[in-house]
Amino acid sequence: MSESQLWDAVDDYFTAHLSPDDEALEAALRDSDAADLPSIAVTAPQGKLLQLLAEIQGARHILEIGTLGGYSTIRLARALPADGRLISLEYDPKHAEVATRNIARAGLDKLVEVRVGPALESLPQLADENPAPFDLVFIDADKANNPHYLEWALKLTSAGSLIIIDNVVREGRIADADSTAPDVQGTRSAIEMIGSHPRLSGTAIQTVGAKGYDGFALARVLA
C-alpha cells in the first residue's frame, strides 16, 4: 500500500465512524462533481472539525471566504443556532449557484447567504454594513490573498473570535522561503502575520488524509 493509499484508508475509517456524510452533504459533493467544480472541498473529517470548532466557539456569526459547492459551508452552518448567520464569499457565479442549491437542500438557506464576487470587493462592502463581529472566519479561497483576508478578518472580528486558514502546507511548499509562487508567498505572509500580530495567538497543524499532505492554521483574536 502506498503512503497516500494508507492516508485514504485511515480517512475512510475515521469518516465511517465519526463524520459520515449524510444525504445533504453527499448530494452537495455529487452535484458539485456533476457541475464540474474542482474536487477541493475539505475532507469529511476536516468538515466535521470545522463544525466542532464552530460549536466549541459557540459561534452565532460565521464568515467564510471561498464557498465552492458549499460543503464546508454546510458543516459550519450546522453549528449555528436558529438565529445565527453565515456569510460565504465566492468569486465564481457558477460555484455560488451550485452552493446555493446545496445549502437550500440542506435546509440552511435561512441561515446562509452566499455573496458573489471577488472577496476583496465583497469584504469592504460587508464592513460598510457594520455587521456584528464574526465569531469564526474560515479563509479558504485564493491563497495569494491570504494576508489581505487575514487583515479583513481582523477588522470583522473581536476578542475571542477564531480565524481558520485552510491549505497552509501544500505538500510542504510552505517551508520554501525562496518560493516565488504567489500562493506560497501569500500563505507565508499570513502565517508570519499571525506570529507577529499583537492581536493574534495562533498555531498551524500539518495533516495527511484523502486530500494529501496539507494543513491548517488557527488564530485566536486576543483583543
Interface residues with Mg ion (CB under 5 A)?
Answer: 140, 166-167
Taking each helix axis as running N to C, give the angle between helix 23-34 and helix 93-105, from 0 to 180 degrees, rounded to the nearest 10: 160
d(CA 73, CA 17): 22
Q: Which residues ranging from 12 to 41 are in contact with ligand DHB (CB under 6 A)?
A: 40
> Least separation, in Å, of the C-beta of 40 and ligand DHB?
4
Shortest Å, Cβ 90 to ligand SAH: 5
152 binds ligand SAH (CB under 6 A): no
Cα Rg of the chain, angstroms: 17
- Which 152-191 residues touch ligand DHB, going by CB under 6 A? 166-167
Window 13-72: residues binding ligand SAH (CB under 6 A): 40-42, 66-68, 71-72
11 near ligand SAH, judged by CB under 6 A: no
3-state helix vs strand vs coil in the chain, percent to 5 = 50, 25, 30
C-alpha cell at 179: 518560493
Based on the shown chain and the rule CB under 6 A, indicate whether residue 140 belongs to the binding site for ligand SAH: yes
Tell me the one-letter amino acid at 78: R
CB of 187 to ligand SAH, least distance (A): 14
* CA–CA distance, 124 with 22 (Å, rounded to integer): 35
Distances (CA, A) of 166 to 40, 146, 182: 11, 10, 16
Contact residues toward ligand DHB (CB under 6 A) are 40, 140, 166-167
